[in-house]
Structure formats: structure tokens, C-alpha cells
Structure 1
């Protein structure tokens, strides 16, 4: 049975696309220049471009939808967001390390989440001129061309993953090819939606803003995306972090991927220390 399109989602997608284009222009203005950079939370890099893009997106999106909540990597969190059914979840520049190094696969990742579920998303790679879009019941596209996730390589699946996960997959006897290590998690995920990767994974500790935009694009393209400990990811909770994650259009890969990720990263316990926010 067809999915009912939530009210206002088509307009929200137009808003996200427009905001992403303008944010991309801002980010490209700093790209490959001698911009200021620093670190937060000891190890996470930040650039002045991250802040400039966040300031623009906060102003543009919140002014257009004042009744929506707000969660962004570069904005101080507020429990007020928990009072909203609909919320913007934003990563101004996903893949900041690569962005600072001058690599071109960084993205601007935007999502609208309703009652914990991603219903609209845009993942925009300005330096590659690629805009991935998904809306609940509306399908997924890249530069307006429909996406249909499918098993990209019949004999040797292409899978990027951290070294420890590669080791565990080898132990499990999975035959595959190691894929490219894009710094942007959102970009890796939408490559699964586009059929360019057979699977993508994330370490334990990814945040809502890392994955919400890509989530709806994966779903609408027909791919599976799972928290290996809890199943379907949920968003805008008190804790925005997730266990390890796996995305694939090849159902035969899902079980070994989830098994390997659980072995390497385990599952968070209610009273355990918080996981490191790594994507």
C-alpha cells in the first residue's frame, strides 16, 4: 500500500533544497582557503565555515518554520526541541576533516523529522554538484534523477568500513572489495542509495545530524538502514547518539555486517559510559 505523504513535506523539501544551495555557496567560499580551524570535544575539528553555514541555516530554516524544533551539530543543544513534533536536524558540514584537507566529498546534511522519524532529507555535496533528496512517500533522487538502491556488484560487493570491521568481516568469511573511505558519513550512506556502494557502516557514536538526512533517502531508494543494536533508528530523543549502523540494498549482507559491528563495537548499556561520537 502506498505511503501517505505527510502534510507539508513537499514544501519542506523545496525549503531544504533552497537552503542547501545557499549554504553550499557559503561553504565553497571558504573551501581550500586559509580559514580558521580549531577542535571541540578534544578531537572533533571545526572550521569557521561550519559556523558560518550553521548561522545561515539556523536563520533561514527557523524563520521559515518557527514552529519546528532545531538540532544542529554546531548549535548548543536545548531540551526545548523535545517539545516539537517536527524538527530540523542539521549538519552544516558533514566530513569537516575532509573539507579542511581540501577533499571534495563533504556534504551539507539536512532533515525534517516528525515524531522521531525522518520524513524529508537533503544531502548536498557542493564541490561535486550532487544533490540527494528524499521524502516520505515521494521517492529519492540525485540531481532530480530517481534513485533505486540495488546490489551494485554481483561477485564482489563494495563496502567501505573501519579496519577493525574489515578484519571481523574477513573472519566471518565474507568475500567483498574494500570501498573508498569518504570522510562524510552522509555521503557514504547516500552512495548506497545510488547503487554505487553495496553497503556502508558507521561506528558506534554517530549522532542524529550525521544520519537523519541520509536515512530517508536510503529508505525511499529501497535500501535497509539499521542500528545494529536497536533496529530502525529514531531521532530527536534526549540522547542523540546511536549504536553502530549498517546500510545496504543487499539483504544477504545485512546479517554479517550487523554481526561484525556488534563484535567490534558492542551495544550501549543504560548505565554505561557514553560512546565516543565517531562516524
Structure 2
């Protein structure tokens, strides 16, 4: 029987995983042109979502390399056909080779590469790299969250009134109405990559990130761990934590926030 992952064994994986993430970024970066259309070939998936040859190249590279590093881990990725065998596995890689593909193909820098390793359904390693911005976030469960090697934490505020909020306009409008006439929110332009939306809450540059229904595990799992380790949470708008590696990896409406703002946000949403 394979040995379970321990804190020590997870830590031992990190140098090689960092190298893999850097190489994945180097594969994607040449296709990206700031402020211009990508040089990559683009086509539409079933349902109309765009995919580029960069998505596929990064996905193929990560599947090979991550499967070499943890051979017994199953696989769930946006760009790979789902294998239901993952549901019976303790370890699962959750991968989005390019989160924010529309941003990537249009020249907007807010796209990322997101990789999480789940153990018994909970993220234990999370990486979110933003190659166009030159920043990298990572977390190991129980060991804190980091941006480019520096520890990060959510903003310590516990009052919702002047929070910096971002996300889909209908959700922001509802939150604003529920917060009442004394609210003085700062609205931040919507962040195309969901993973980056979450890690910006983790680093304290955003306080509340709203997430519309239909996000997938690969959009969330890696950044969720970074946010948890920074003192925040991803939860439904009734307060339940996000659950990963279900048969259908699709989520309803969610919010990313510091734990201290959880109750005020839910109260405003339900008002």
C-alpha cells in the first residue's frame, strides 16, 4: 500500500514542483502578447468556450511531469477528458493550464496557471502562477501562503462597510443593496482569472471576490488553499466551504473573503 503523504513528504516535493511551474510558464509565455491578440491558434470547445494551443501545450506538459512526481495521483483538468476513476483515489491533481483564457488570447495580463494536489478531497499543495505579471503564489496546507517567497495574509479588517470588492456586476449590486446605505465599497475591475481573484484576496489587495455559478474545481482549488493559508475562505453564500473532487466538479455562487468578513458578507447577501 502506498505511504500516505506527510508534511515532510509534501515539503520534499516543492522544489521540483516549483521548477515544473516555471517551465509551464515558459511554455505559455511566448504565445502571449500584451495588449494584442495571442499568436496561438484558437478554437471553440463544446459550449463555445475558447481554447488555444497554449492551453493544450501546458496541459500536456503538466500531465506528464506531475504524473511523474506523484504517479499514484489521479488527474482532473479543464483540457483533459474526465476519468471517473479519480473519485476513488486519495490523491488527485487539479489543473487549469491557463485560467482566464479569454484574457490570455486578448492580451490582458490577468491569466494564470493553477495547480493543486488534493489529498482525501482537501487541497494540500496549491500553486497559482501569473506569467505575464511575473508573480507566483504557493501554499502548503498548515504552512502559510506566499507570494514570490514572501508570506502573505488577508487584510485584517472586520467591517464590511469600506471593503474593496470585485466580481460580476449583478452579484456586486446585490451585495451593495444588502449592505445598506452606509456602505462605501470600492469596486475593483473584474479579474478575468478566478484563481487570481482569490489570491488577491489572500494577499490583501481585494477584500471580497464574488464568483458566479458554474466555476469548476480547476478554477478554484489551488487558489482556495492559498487563501485558506492566508486567513481567508471560499464559501457559498450560505456559508458552506467549497467541496472538491465530486462526480460533477461544478460549483454554485461563491465568495472569497477574509474569515472575519464571512458573517457580514452572508448577512448582507441575504438581507
**TM-score of the pair, normalised by structure 1:** 0.86
Report the secondary structure of 1:159's partner residue: strand
Structure 2 counterpart of 1:108, from 107, 113, 134: 113
Report the secondary structure of 1:127's partner residue: coil
Segments of structure 1 that go 5 or more residues without pairing to the other structure are 264-279
Residues 1-45 of structure 1 show CA distances to partners (whole Å, capped at 9, x for unaligned) of xxx964521133333322111000000021124221111132311
Match of 1:69 in 2: 74
Structure 2 counterpart of 1:180, from 186, 189, 206: 189
Report the secondary structure of 1:100's partner residue: helix
Match of 1:140 in 2: 145
Structure 1 counterpart of 2:167, from 153, 161, 166: 161
CA distance in 2, matches of 1:121, 1:13: 10
Cα RMSD, aligned residues only: 2.2
- 1:207 matches 2:216: yes
CA distance in 2, matches of 1:59, 1:190: 26
Structure 1 residue 230 displacement after superposition: 6.5
Q: 1:152 touches 1:196 (CA, 8 Å); kept in 2?
A: no
Match of 2:123 in 1: 118
Match of 1:24 in 2: 25
Q: 2:128 touches 2:137 (CA, 8 Å); kept in 1?
A: yes
CA distance in 2, matches of 1:111, 1:84: 15
CA distance in 1, matches of 2:111, 2:154: 21
**TM-score of the pair, normalised by structure 2:** 0.89
CA distance in 2, matches of 1:234, 1:250: 17
Q: 1:110 touches 1:122 (CA, 8 Å); kept in 2?
A: yes
Match of 2:154 in 1: 149
CA distance in 2, matches of 1:215, 1:140: 11
Match of 1:57 in 2: 62
More deviation in 4-13 or 29-38? 4-13
Structure 1 residue 224 displacement after superposition: 2.3
Structure 2 counterpart of 1:88, from 65, 86, 93: 93
More deviation in 140-149 or 226-235? 226-235
Structure 2 counterpart of 1:198, from 180, 184, 207: 207
Pick closer, same or farther for the CA change 1:234–1:23 going to 2, 3 Å: same
Match of 1:276 in 2: none
More deviation in 83-92 or 218-227? 218-227
Report the number of matched residues: 259
Pick closer, same or farther for the CA change 1:34–1:58 going to 2, 3 Å: same
1:227-242 to 2 correspondences below 5 Å: 227-229=236-238, 231-242=240-251
Match of 1:267 in 2: none
